[in-house]
Amino acid sequence: MMTDFLKKHGWRYIPGMVFLIINAMIASWIPQFLGQAIDGLWAQPVDPPYVYGRVLCLVGAVIAVFVTRYIWRQLIIGNSRHMEMYLRQRLFAKFQHLPASFFDEHPTGDLMAMAINDINAVRMTMGMVVAQILTGASTAVFSLYHMIQNVHTSLALYALIPIPFAVFFVVFLGIRVRQQFAKVQKMYARISGTIQENIMGQRVLKAFHREENAQRTVEEKSAEMRDANIRLNDMSAMINPLIQVCFGVSFLISLTYGSNLVLNATITVGELVSFNEYLTRIMRPVISLGRIINATARGMASYRRLKDIHMQPEIHPMEYENRDMELTGAVSVRNLSYTYPGTTRQVLKDISFELPVGKVIGVVGETGCGKTTLIDLLLKLRTAPDDTVFLDGHPLQNIPAKTVRSIIGYVPQEEFLFNTTVRENIRFYETAEEPALQEASRAADLAKDMAQLAEGMDTEVGERGRHLSGGQKKRVTIARALVRDPKLLIFDDVLSSVDVRTEREILENLRQIMAEKTCLIVSQRISALRYADEILYMENGTIAERGTHEALLAMGGRYAALHEKQAKAAEEAEAALQQ
């Protein structure tokens, strides 16, 4: 991950480091020019040309520092921005290649924190931290050189005695701060996930009047995070005062011993001023050492988290090949049993059926009977056992997922719309033309809804389609599946959120389309399956009953009992609509 970036863009760091060192070297001349100017003013008589010359050198050095600083920041800090973009693109691309089971196991809040906070922490490490380390080291080296070479060796050695103690305090407390920061990061991920869930689930919270409970949960987690951040700030707040005390002792030594040297004419007043300026310059990197350690620790921890994601096993690259295969959409399932990884309970047990071209199979059953798992296996969102699922006679494991999905029109149980217009949500596939959009909208019984909206198909649906009703969102997702003219249609309980009358209208419109395509309809409503050539009644992961609608009713079993129950509920709903 990082190696690939450095191979492409790492060269920018080299000239950046060169200009940074040049910048530190030029900056180290400034105290010397200042001291010389003071000595020129202190001399009797005053030598104006000499003083003016030192001032001009001082101004020139300041301008050179500005120019070189601008260049190295563009190269080093700018390159870290390129890295931020590169890492975020790589992370998002990785998400696209991970199996569905990965997202079942990782909360959305954690993944969002990685994409924003963790990548930002790595950027800071490879940008500002690298720059601060090089700046601090260069400044300290050049300052020590001038203190010893141009001022006084003994004064430098005595004044620097307290500095190792300052470094010790910074390193010791930095370790404690790093440990506390790790706890804060975990709390941030948890509270982010909680807030996101509450925002997305506002309708449910309001419907069940659980706003106070949600508020209390967020307050408790916020209080925990506040306390953790206060402890973090307490530890961080100790660093600077301890450094100031250590350097205060250094300045005390410098002023006491240095004054005696000035009185003895060993050094000049200007040299003592420049010495204290060099001491101040050494103090700055020591103060920033704590921030450097913290930022480095954050960056390394964040990088490890990102690296762990990139180490996750991906879907095999073959799955993304677009193999040129003439598939008609005929499905064959033979003795299919499936158990979720990490569990022991079989969610599907010995499932077998044939779905030839142009036929419709309906799957019905209570919640949790394995209907959605069956669809996931057909879509290759989960991996079916070898030689159990076939498409046009080919084992599904031998056909790339991209090829399989290219012939499927899928309407999921949970309608997901993107925050754009109705038109763009239906035109999910870039090749969809306007006539196809209109035909798909008509088949999904969406035209009358569009007529009621001020901007029609160009209406913004809002986040997750919140500006549309549940039935409208469902019809948009149906149109999105139909617009690509798929050979195999898969409906996952798509009519559960619409009323009986709307269901009847949609099914009548779809009837002609389903007659020309292979179709699998999963539903909890028996009324949605009345046109199916065969119906599978599933219970506890097995096919408990199978046959046509009439044959299953004649059996008088579980299917017939469910039909009677739903028919009575439909009659009551119809009567309520007529009143």
Closest CA relative to residue 44, chosen from 266, 259, 257, 268: 268
Predicted confidence (pLDDT) per residue in 29-64, tens digit: 999 888 888 888 877 777 788 888 989 999 999 999
Structural domains of the chain sorted by starting position, each given as residue range(s) with its CATH number in brackets: 2-310 (1.20.1560.10), 318-407+487-579 (3.40.50.300), 418-485 (no CATH)
More confident position, 19 or 425: 19
Tokens of 100: 């569905």
Instruction: List Cα–Cα distances, 151 to 50, 60, 137, 460, 523, in angstroms.
Output: 20, 23, 20, 72, 88
Which long-range contacts link 346-355 to residues 24+ away (Cβ below 8 Å)?
346/541, 347/373, 347/541, 348/373, 348/374, 348/377, 348/541, 348/542, 349/540, 349/541, 349/542, 350/542, 351/541, 351/542, 351/543, 352/543, 353/534, 353/536, 353/543, 353/546, 355/330, 355/331, 355/518, 355/520
**Where does residue 497 rank: exposed (0-12), middle (13-18), buried (19+ CB within 10 A)?**
middle
For tokens 């309407």, what's the residue? 411
φ/ψ (deg, to 5) at 543: -85, 105
Residue 520: which of 555, 490, 554 has the closest Cα? Answer: 490
Which residues are paired to 489 by β-bridges?
409, 519
Q: Are 158 and 253 in contact (CB under 8 A)?
A: yes
Q: What is the pLDDT of residue 167?
A: 84
Give yes or no for residue 499 having a pLDDT over 70. no
- Kindly tell me if the per-residue pLDDT of 565 is higher than 70: yes
State residue 390's pLDDT score. Answer: 92
In our burial notation (b when 16+ CB lie closer than 10 A, e otherwise), range 480-491 reads bbbbbebbbbbb
The SS3 call for residue 215 is helix
Whole-model pTM above 0.85?
no
Confidence of residue 497 (pLDDT cuts 50, 70, 90): low
pLDDT category of residue 323 using cuts at 50, 70 and 90: low
pLDDT value, residue 576: 62
Residue 309: both structure tokens together? 């994601």
| Residue spans of beta strands (DSSP E) within 190-249 | none
- Return the closest-CA partner of residue 506 out of 444, 426, 447: 444
Q: How far apart are the two ends of the chain, measured CA to CA in Å?
A: 65
Q: Which of 71-80, 303-312, 467-476 has the lowest mean pLDDT?
A: 467-476
In the predicted model, what is the mean pLDDT of residues 564-569? 81
pLDDT in tens, 378-401: 988 888 888 899 998 888 888 888
Mean pLDDT score, 477-494: 84
Q: Is the dihedral of CA 236, 237, 240, 246 positive or negative?
A: negative
**187 pLDDT more than 70:** yes
536 falls in which pLDDT band (50, 70, 90)?
very high
Segment 82-96 shows an average pLDDT of: 88
Range from 15-24, 176-185, 254-263, 352-361 carrying the lowest mean pLDDT: 176-185
pLDDT above 90 for 352: yes
pLDDT, position 353: 92
Q: Is the pLDDT of residue 503 over 90?
A: no
- For residue 415, the tally of other CB atoms under 10 A from its CB is 21
Q: Is the pLDDT of residue 316 over 80?
A: no
Q: What is the mean pLDDT of residues 97-101?
A: 76
Identify the pLDDT of residue 70. Answer: 94
Residues, the chain, total? 579
pLDDT of 69: 94
pLDDT for 65:
94
Structure confidence at residue 76 (pLDDT):
92
Report how far residue 173's alpha carbon sits from residue 290's, in angstroms, rounded to the nearest whole number.
Answer: 8
**Which of 199-208, 212-221, 323-332, 413-422 comes out lowest in average pLDDT?**
199-208
Alpha-carbon distance 460 to 40, whole Å? 73
Confidence tier at 579 by pLDDT (50, 70, 90): low
> If you average pLDDT over every residue of the chain, what do you get?
83
pLDDT of residue 314: 67
